[in-house]
Amino acid sequence: MYEKYSFRFAAFIVLALLLFSTQPRDAYSQSIAFTFDDGPQLKPSPLLTPAARNQAMLDALARHKVQAALMVTLKNGADRPEGLALARAWGVAGHDVGNHTVTHLDLNSPAVTLAQYQNELLECDAVIAKLPGYRKWFRYTFLREGNTPEKRDGMRAFLKARDYRNAYVSLDTSDWRLDQKLVEVLEKNPAVDIAPIKAAYLAHIWQRAQAYRELSQKLQGRDISQVILLHHNLINALWLDEVIALFEEKGWRIVTPEAAFRDPVYQLQPDRPAAGQSLLLSMARSLGLGKFEGWERLVDDGDFEIDALKAKVPS
Ligand SMILES: [Zn+2]
């Protein structure tokens, strides 16, 4: 008896030593990778041309020496030469270029078939595969994996067969909602003071970052390498610089998307009939943690910040 236990104890010590010696202590310290969806976006916006918006985001990344990923939605611009040039600029600057369908269709819609969704992946792939930085990375539109188990499993098998990675998001944000607000107020009054929107945006990003960090500690018992979802839009053209600086100031380590995806958490496939959203939120749901503390602020689409802005910015 005694010998058996001491053997087990010795084996445990050896295992623990192995784990600690092969894994640098900071392997899981808080890190973050930046990804940008729906780009390149040629839709006009106030203040900046599409090319200027693209360049502003690239400049901010370069200033902070951040290597990021652009997830291309073909019909937003890359199906035209001027848009394709903007996508190419990301690859040329050393960023990864991934796939985010052609028309941004919703796999959770009963009207969208699995075959239709797969065709859009292939159609986007045919264009982006020629770009520098091309990766076989697929970002689900709306972060939705399908409204039926057949669609979910069909798409997961399709990605696996083609050696595609599900380019998961762990740190979901509502940057798009604050961008809508920004565009709306600028369209009404180009001279409006947008400083309150900037402050609200940075506060929103930091709130989500902390909340998802807490959620990763709750679910994984550690800090995972976070993958943040932002969009190719005006708000990031204006303030990505400050967003990156915020994470730097808070001591987060910025890593490449590839390095972040090496975190074993991104091998998980939450078992839910309709999987999607942030991987962390999806895991929480699959574990039955539907309404954990603070969940409302992870699914509110930025309502909190938009409400708070009402008093500060004319709408
Ligand atoms: Zn999208």
CA of 31 to the centre of ligand 1 (A): 23
Quote the ligand 1 centre to 265 CA distance (angstroms).
Answer: 22
* Residue 156 alpha carbon to ligand 1 centre in Å: 18
**pLDDT in tens for each of the 315 residues of the chain?**
444 445 454 544 444 444 444 444 455 679 999 999 999 999 999 999 999 999 999 999 999 999 999 999 999 999 999 999 999 999 999 999 999 999 999 999 999 999 999 999 999 999 999 999 999 999 999 999 999 999 999 999 999 999 999 999 999 999 999 999 999 999 999 999 999 999 999 999 999 999 999 999 988 889 999 999 999 999 999 999 999 999 999 999 999 999 999 999 999 888 766 556 788 888 777 776 666 777 777 777 778 888 888 878 876
CA of residue 214 to ligand 1 center, whole Å: 25
Interval between CA 72 and ligand 1 midpoint (Å):
9
Å from CA of 141 to ligand 1 middle = 5
Between CA 221 and CA 219 the distance in angstroms is: 6
Exposure string of 240-278, with b = 16+ CB inside 10 Å and e = fewer, is: bbebbebbeeeebebbbbeebbebebbeebbeeebbbbb
How far apart CA 178 and CA 180 sit, in angstroms, is: 5
What is the value of pTM for the model shown? 0.88
Could you give the CA distance from residue 299 to residue 306 in angstroms, rounded to a whole number? 14
State the helix-helix crossing angle for 195-220 and 279-286, rounded to 10 degrees. Answer: 40
Backbone phi, psi, residue 134, to 5°: -60, 130
**Closest residue by Cα to residue 234 from 46, 35, 39:** 46
